[in-house]
């Protein structure tokens, strides 16, 4: 933290401070406008885009990353990162199927997979808080460990679900909407409420805004941080359960891009890389933008190589344009 004398000596500084604030708000509305533009563009260019079945298709495509991104929002808002989700998603997927195949009741197998994830998260939280290792490095380490574990547990092969009733989350309810989409919506509402209206939500923002001040204000910073990583990894493991339910099989290859895509979504949604700013609404918008662009390009039959390039360019443009607009207007 810079000394107050440095931060508040002149009007120039406080202006840049203000523009940073406005930029996050502009980012949120900017990305909303951008999303509408994306929808309009693909509606005009593809005959297959604007339909109920494709809207449902997009929702089913983004659910897994959406669940991961909810957890990632907690980690990033509190001033951290969780790269280990890329290992925890496959670990959750594989443990769920292994336990389901061992004739464990489906809810118990789900709970167990999530507990495995939460345990990884507690481990992440402990090395970040008590050992004091930077979250990027700490979770990079657990990413490697958990991904390796997922391979070891599955012997590197796809394990089919013996009891396909265990894939209950992928079954369809009203309007052909799968239960896992309903679950994502429910989780988002809970998280949105918790972050905006509860004491613990307020404290998560406080820790992300100023970790040391939070400690001095008497917050149990370490305990909250551990709980955040546990929630994030628990959600990632649940995302693994959802993938397995979709595929009716468990595989260690799933979720490899979960870390990068979830972080990209959170940042695209207006969260600050340095913590303290961001929210569920923005994150979901970010997830939808990336998922809709991927779907639209697939419908337009854009080759995979170019899809990858286009996604990167759009990500940079969307984030960069939001910041630029804020600088010009602020």
Partner 1 sequence: MKNQGKQSITRREMLTRLTALGFTVPAATALIAANGRRASAADPIRISFANVFEKGELFVQLGNGIENAAKLMGYEFRRYNNEFDSEKTLANARLMVQDRPDIILEYNGVEGIGQALRRIFDDAGIPFIAINVPIPGGHWFNLVNKEIGTDTANVVVPIANANGWTGNDTTAIIIQASAAGVEVNDCVRYFYVTAAETMEGMTKVKPDEITATTTTIGDTGIQVDGAGALEESYTAVKNALQTLPADRHILLYSVNDDSTLGGWRAITEAGRQDNTIVAGLGGSVAALGELRNNPQWVAEGSVFATHWGQYLIAMATAVLNGVEPPPLTKCPQLILTPDNVDKYYDAEGKVQLLPPLVPENEYLRDTGVLQQFNNVEGLIG
Partner 2 sequence: MRASRDPEVTSGPPLVEMRDIHKSFGGIHAVEGVSISVMAGEVVGIVGHNGAGKSTLIKILSGAYQMDDGAIHVNGNRVSIGNPRDAKRHGIETIYQDLALHDNLDAVANFFIGREIHTRYGTLDNAAMERAAREVINRINPSFVSLRDPVLSLSGGQRQSIAIARAVYFNARLLIMDEPTAALGQRETRAFKELVLRLKSEGIGMLVISHDIHDVFDMSDRITVMANGRQVGTRRTADVTKDQVLGMIILGKLPEEGTEEDFAQLH
User: Does 298 participate in binding partner 1 (rule CB under 8 A)?
Assistant: yes
Q: CA angle at residue 135 from 320 to 19, to 5 degrees? A: 30
The correct pick among 68, 114, 170, 267 for binding partner 1 (CB under 8 A) is: 170
| CA dihedral of 92, 97, 100, 106, whole degrees rounded to 10 | 50
Q: Where on the chain is the footprint of partner 2 (CB under 8 A)?
A: 1, 3-5, 8, 14, 17-18, 20-21, 197-200, 202-203, 205-206, 208-210, 212-219, 272, 276-277
User: Does 101 participate in binding partner 1 (rule CB under 8 A)?
Assistant: no
**Interactions with partner 1, residue window 2-41 (CB under 8 A):** none
Which partner in partner 1, partner 2, none is near 203 (CB below 5 to 8 A by kind)? partner 2
* CA 210 – CA 160 distance, rounded (Å): 47
User: Does 305 participate in binding partner 1 (rule CB under 8 A)?
Assistant: yes
- Which of 38/249 has CB closer to partner 1? 249
Sequence-distant (6+) residues with CB within 8 A of 254 are 89, 90, 93, 240, 243, 244, 247
The closest alpha carbon to 167, from 241, 235, 67, 254, belongs to 241
Q: What are 250's strand-pairing partners?
A: 159
DSSP 226-238: HHHHHHHHHHHHH
Q: What tokens does 196 get? A: 């905006």
User: Does 102 participate in binding partner 1 (rule CB under 8 A)?
Assistant: no
Which partner in partner 1, partner 2, none is near 311 (CB below 5 to 8 A by kind)? none
Site of interaction with partner 1 (CB under 8 A): 48, 51, 53-54, 57, 60-61, 144, 147-148, 151-152, 155-160, 170, 243, 246-249, 251, 253-256, 294-295, 298-299, 301-306
């Amino acid at each position: 933290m810079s000394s107050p004398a440095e931060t508040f000596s002149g009007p120039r500084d406080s202006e840049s401070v203000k523009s940073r604030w406005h930029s996050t708000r502009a980012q949120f509305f900017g990305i909303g406008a951008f999303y509408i533009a994306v929808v309009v563009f693909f509606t005009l260019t593809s005959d297959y885009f604007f339909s109920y079945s494709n809207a449902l298709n997009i929702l089913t495509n983004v659910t897994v990353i959406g669940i991961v991104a909810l957890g990632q929002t907690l980690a990033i808002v509190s001033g951290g990162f969780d790269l280990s989700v890329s290992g925890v998603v496959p670990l959750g997927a594989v443990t769920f199927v292994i336990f389901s195949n061992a004739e464990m009741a489906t809810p118990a197998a789900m709970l167990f997979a999530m507990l495995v994830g939460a345990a990884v998260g507690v481990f992440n939280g402990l090395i970040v808080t008590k050992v004091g290792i930077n979250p990027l490095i700490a979770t990079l380490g657990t990413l490697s460990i958990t991904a390796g574990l997922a391979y070891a547990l599955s012997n590197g092969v796809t394990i089919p679900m013996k009891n396909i009733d265990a894939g209950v989350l992928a079954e369809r309810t009203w309007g052909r909407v799968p239960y896992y989409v309903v679950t994502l919506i429910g989780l988002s509402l809970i998280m949105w409420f918790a972050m905006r209206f509860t004491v613990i939500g307020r404290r998560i923002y406080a820790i992300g805004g100023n970790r040391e001040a939070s400690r001095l204000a008497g917050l149990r910073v370490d305990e909250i941080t551990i709980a955040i990583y546990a929630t994030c990894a628990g959600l990632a493991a649940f995302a693994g359960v959802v993938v397995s339910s979709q595929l009716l099989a468990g595989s260690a290859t799933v979720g490899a891009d979960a870390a990068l895509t979830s972080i990209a979504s959170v940042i695209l949604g207006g969260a600050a890389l340095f913590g303290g700013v961001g929210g569920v609404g923005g994150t979901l918008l970010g997830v939808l933008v990336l998922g809709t662009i991927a779907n639209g390009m697939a419908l337009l039959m854009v080759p995979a190589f170019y899809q990858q390039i286009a996604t990167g360019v759009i990500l940079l443009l969307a984030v960069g344009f939001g910041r630029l607009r804020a600088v010009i207007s602020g």
